[in-house]
Every structure is written in C-alpha cells, then in structure tokens.
Amino acid sequence: MPMNTAQDSAQALRYVWVEILVECPKCGDPVPVNGLETNVVCDNCNHEFPVSTETWQTLLSHPDNAYNTLAYGEQSTTSMWGSATKVTYGLMSQPTCPTCHAALPPDHTQVGTQGSISCPSCGATIPTFPAPDWLTALLPSCRQVYGIDPPRDGKATTKVKLDEDAAKPIAMVCPQCGAGLTFTSAEQRLVPCTYCGAEVYLPDAIWKRLHPVKIKSRWFFRFEGPSKTSVTKQQRKARARAEEWAEQDKRLEALAAEPPPKEATSNWLLQVFIACVIIIAIVLVLFSFLSK
C-alpha cells in the first residue's frame, strides 16, 4: 500500500477530487452528481430522487480515506450498491482547476470562507465554500469544497453550459398536418401543433439539442486530519486493548482469591512428618549410644 510523507501525520492535509455517477431508480440511466445535492433530477426521464446525508457519508467515505490507500496523483473507482453508483476519486497535494487541471495558486481563498479562485492557466472561476455543518458532522476531516456553488435548498448547484446552437430555435414539420413548427428550449417535451392542435412529441435528437444533458464534472474537497474510518479503527483497537487488560486483571484477581491447592498442603504436612521421624531416629540413636 503506497504511503506518502503527509500520511505519517495524524493531521494530514490533502485535496481529493471526485466524480460521481448514480443510477436513476426509475429508468436506470446514469445521472451525474456534480454537487452536494439532496435531490437529483434525471435528464432522461425527469425523475427526481433524494440523496440523503447518510448516502453522502457513504459516497465520500472512500475519498475521505484516500490518503491511506493512494499516493499523490493516483486515482481509484469504487462501486456501491452493486453497480448503481460509481465514485471516481484521486489524491492531490494541492488544489487544481476542475476545467484544465492546472495547479491553483497556493494563496487561494482562505479556508472557512466563501469565495472564488481564478485559474492562472485557463482563467476559469472556481467557486469555493466551507463544508456545510451536516457534512462535517458526518466527516469531521472535511474542511472546504471547491468547483461547485454552495447548495441551495438541496437542488442542483451546477449549471449546464448551453452552446450557441442550443440557444437557436429548431424547426420541424408537424407529423399530423405537415405544417412548419418552431421550438425553443422553453418548450415542453409534448407540445400542441399551432395549426391542427395535434400533440407533437419532440424526438430525442431535438430535445437533447434544446436541453443538453448534464455531464459528469470534477469537483474536490480539502481534508485535514485523520479520516473517520481511521479514527474508528483506532477507537476499536483502543477498546479491544482495554477489554483485554480488564479481562487479564479479572484473571489475576481470581487467582489471588483462590485457596492454596490441597496437594501443596499435603506435601507440606508430609515434609514435616518426615522431618519429625528423622529427628526421633537421631535422638534414639544417640540415647542408645550414650546408654552403653
């Protein structure tokens, strides 16, 4: 298992980038989670499903513990709940730009404050904010979040970038009457024809052109100190040692309270009896010798 210099310290400082994909429970499509959202919307079927704080703890437990498993620059992918959720993460010694991956200035926004960082390479603006209270309660080592906007009411905080083509209206013919129709991104998936009144369902190609799907983005965290997993393991070892010592003390107390073994008592009496016999024999020998 690779080890870094920073890993030798209980107060290890590290940055971890993450990319998260969850499976829509309704249609099964992969849905990117590009922020600390408690509600995620599937771009394919428009189904909205919750992401609980306990789920976030599970999702980020591996990145939190990355300094125990990865070397700087390495990455790993873990699957959860079968293959329904995939979390890809990597360990960094300093923050980087989520867009071009260039190293960010060392004097970036102060930890514990909300602001933004300007990438010196591509000019991208990277938002940053302190880890929310609910997240630090689950992962005490998490200090700062980068690359996404602060969550608002649990809704998505990242914006889908629209290109120039997506902003232009798209024309198609009504399949019922053949009239020319024009659609924009403001339209619903099922719209009425303005000429014959027929319900026109926008094909996937047109719908996705007007509503580009959200793609997986890279965002990252600043962690300080041992991960929750490491702390839990240390606590378990300490409890195990304490229980072992307590059990040993009980055994010693039990041994001290036990009476001497009967065999030892019998051996002592036998030794006294033999000594008395020897003394009596010596006395008799001397008496008989003196009497002559």
CA 131 vs. chain centroid, Å, equals: 14
For residues 119 and 152, membership in a common domain is answered with yes
Look at residue 144 in the predicted model and tell me its pLDDT.
Answer: 92
Which range marks the domain in which residue 278 is found? 266-292
For residues 127 and 182, membership in a common domain is answered with no
For residues 98 and 28, membership in a common domain is answered with yes
Alpha carbons 18 and 220: distance in angstroms, whole number? 6
Give the ranges where 163-227 is alpha helix by DSSP (H).
Answer: 164-167, 204-210
Is 251 inside a domain boundary? no
For residues 121 and 220, membership in a common domain is answered with yes
Token pair recorded at residue 37: 């959202």
For residues 156 and 176, membership in a common domain is answered with no
Residues 6+ positions from 85 with CB-CB distance below 8 Å = 20, 21, 22, 23, 59, 79
For residues 63 and 184, membership in a common domain is answered with no
For residues 120 and 150, membership in a common domain is answered with yes
For residues 153 and 171, membership in a common domain is answered with no
For residues 79 and 116, membership in a common domain is answered with yes
Does residue 212 contact residue 206 with C-beta atoms inside 8 Å? no
For the chain, how many structural domains are there in total?
A: 3
pLDDT tens for the chain, 292 residues long, are 344 444 444 457 889 999 999 999 888 888 999 888 888 888 878 788 888 888 898 889 889 888 888 888 899 999 887 778 899 999 988 888 888 888 888 677 788 889 888 888 998 888 999 999 999 998 999 999 998 887 765 444 444 444 445 557 888 889 889 888 888 777 787 888 988 988 888 887 777 777 777 788 889 999 988 876 665 655 566 566 666 766 776 776 777 777 655 555 556 677 777 888 788 877 777 777 666 6
Does residue 93 contact residue 15 with C-beta atoms inside 8 Å? yes
Does residue 221 contact residue 142 with C-beta atoms inside 8 Å? yes
Alpha carbons 216 and 29: distance in angstroms, whole number? 13
Give the ranges where 86-216 is alpha helix by DSSP (H).
Answer: 133-138, 164-167, 204-210
For residues 111 and 195, membership in a common domain is answered with no
Does residue 205 contact residue 189 with C-beta atoms inside 8 Å? no
